[in-house]
Structure 1
């Protein structure tokens, strides 16, 4: 009872403080809100919506079940999750946060995986997509497309490492009975896909409409969290709370030989990865290698903004949040270590820009390959795409409500 009262007082004090800060810093709050909104409708919405809709269709047509049967012999011994975990892992890497959590929750709701398996799966299937790593962080913040290779290697390799470690999680729990396949069987996979499609009673039009509504609804929720944490992060900075927390990090950074100027970006990155990565790229007296290590940790930890999005998605199921949170901390340290480990053999040896690691190589914004060109295309046309999709969402929702009234 006492702990419950303390929790109530703490939450009330926190939200009251934030409300007071909103009144005290109205201009800063507005600018932070606009920044979060721009990030959502320029990047997040147009890059995630196609993946969300397609994934719903793949599930409905039984393709996910097909993939699950094929990958069962690999995913089960490596990660102790069903074969459909391979689909979740691939989609999570391709589309970015918080897709892995959404697909995992969907698999759990359909009872295709047990709770323990879902908690293992969600801990290593949420990652940043290549578009953000190469486009926004490497080129947009560091003006160095080659850095994206290091960040991508450390990010995805640490993801796999977390999955291998989390296979030991919940060892005492007995998983639900699953069908085991001794070897890869195309025939068995096709049979399971056909059975799953027959179990889907919705016609194609309704399946597509439900996929659009469900996907946009999830993205609206994600957008709210992005805007909220963008504002909270800015308010904490102006209230000097970020600097206060950074004081505690300065000692740890100095212990490993990193400059104290990285402490504030590090704390900012714990709340929101975009702002933290941007501040890290501009930190003074820090070498590029040191900046890359901190950025790798920030990307892997995901920030409290992404974690809040995941928590809201998992709340619709019986999947516990703590394994995901523990996975983020673990991945953060592994990603930072991998970045430090591969810096010389990968970046310094194979970089096309022959400058020392404490320099900031600059490449043209439009250069850097196919991924970066896609990023700038998304930024340019993203807002228009978002508005058109929201209009479509309103139209479909209205038609659905009219049908229910009839």
Structure 2
């Protein structure tokens, strides 16, 4: 019996390794066949990271890490914590991850959630729950780039609002499911599940040490982010170069890979409400690039990337439906 289990397990591992080798080999061949497209796309991805992502996220990441290192998260969120606890049904410690996720962009919301979980400030179930709605594109990206530049809206704030509302609706669905499971005795409450949560204490050591660690930690995260942005920019460039599909389908594929490049293509190839609905939906999902970034920052925990992806797909669908409903009754 055990021998059969090991045999089956070995076959599964072999198949996975074979598929992975074939995928990587195919990518290398494509890189060799389209060197100019790879080079140009890599340059675009590098410039996007260096000129946009790094300046906007690095200061925020350093400050956020310092706040957590000094044990000041609950003081920082003291004013908004009661509201967030009521709206999202989370603990006071979890509120900080939500605030960071709303004010920054991918993947700082996920990184903060993972950091709180590793520090035993929130339990696994709450961390997984927060991860499904706190990790979004930055407010500036959604309003200025998507709302104004790509969609030409006079009221671009609607994009940000609908993306956040879609995330909140997802949280309501998850809370309802969890409430049913608790009523059936299949799950415990977060307080019962994590009664031994560590209390936040102000840091009494050298502040410079915290700052040094925060800077190093932030650069590690954002360097990984840069690598994924470049990689998915290359994949998006190859899709545009070699896929024999119509421009509309190419725009959809590129948007699913990397939303910044995809947003420009969608807005230029699919005009009107249809294109805008798709654009809002893809923005709420975030693209596979943001999924890879998120998977990277939570890789040292046992949080599920699969559950996160399902939640983001749901958020994208809900956001697209909300925009379509609003566009039929309101003028943006």
TM-score when scaled to structure 1?
A: 0.72
Q: Structure 2 stretches of 5 or more lacking a match?
A: 1-8
> 1:271-350 alignment to 2 at 5 Å?
271-284=257-270, 286-287=271-272, 289-346=273-330, 348=331
1:177 aligns with 2:194: yes
Equivalent position to 2:201, from 196, 200, 203: 196
Instruction: Indicate conservation of the 8 Å contact 1:52/1:215, yes or no.
Output: yes
Query: Can you list the C-alpha shifts for 1:4-48, whole angstroms capped at 9, x where unaligned?
Result: 222211111111011001111000000000110111011111101
Return the offset for 1:67.
Answer: 5.0
> 1:202-213 alignment to 2 at 5 Å?
202-213=205-216
> 1:43-122 alignment to 2 at 5 Å?
43-66=52-75, 74-76=83-85, 78-122=87-131
* Rounded Cα–Cα distance in structure 2 between residues aligned with 1:121 and 1:212: 25
Instruction: Indicate conservation of the 8 Å contact 1:68/1:82, yes or no.
Output: no
Instruction: Indicate conservation of the 8 Å contact 1:162/1:331, yes or no.
Output: yes
Secondary structure at the counterpart of residue 282 of structure 1: helix
Residue in structure 2 matched with residue 392 of structure 1 by the alignment = none
Query: Can you list the C-alpha shifts for 1:317-344, whole angstroms capped at 9, x where unaligned?
Result: 1111122111111001100011011114
Equivalent position to 1:263, from 238, 249, 260: 249
Instruction: Indicate conservation of the 8 Å contact 1:60/1:196, yes or no.
Output: no
Residue in structure 1 matched with residue 4 of structure 2 by the alignment = none
Residue in structure 2 matched with residue 156 of structure 1 by the alignment = 164
Number of aligned residue pairs: give it.
313
Instruction: Indicate conservation of the 8 Å contact 2:74/2:93, yes or no.
Output: yes
Query: Can you list the C-alpha shifts for 1:92-123, whole angstroms capped at 9, x where unaligned?
Result: 12111111100000000101111111100101
Residue in structure 1 matched with residue 237 of structure 2 by the alignment = 234
Query: Can you list the C-alpha shifts for 1:254-277, whole angstroms capped at 9, x where unaligned?
Result: xxxxxxx64331221111111111
Higher alpha-carbon Rg: 1
Secondary structure at the counterpart of residue 62 of structure 1: coil
Instruction: Indicate conservation of the 8 Å contact 2:240/2:250, yes or no.
Output: no
* Rounded Cα–Cα distance in structure 1 between residues aligned with 2:284 and 2:83: 24
Residue in structure 2 matched with residue 401 of structure 1 by the alignment = none
* Rounded Cα–Cα distance in structure 1 between residues aligned with 2:78 and 2:51: 37
Structure 2 vs 1, CA of residues 333 and 229 (structure 1 numbering), >3 Å: closer, same or farther?
same
Query: Can you list the C-alpha shifts for 1:39-69, whole angstroms capped at 9, x where unaligned?
Result: 1011111101111111112213332133567
State the superposition RMSD in angstroms.
2.3
TM-score when scaled to structure 2?
A: 0.87
Q: Structure 1 stretches of 5 or more lacking a match?
A: 181-191, 247-260, 352-406
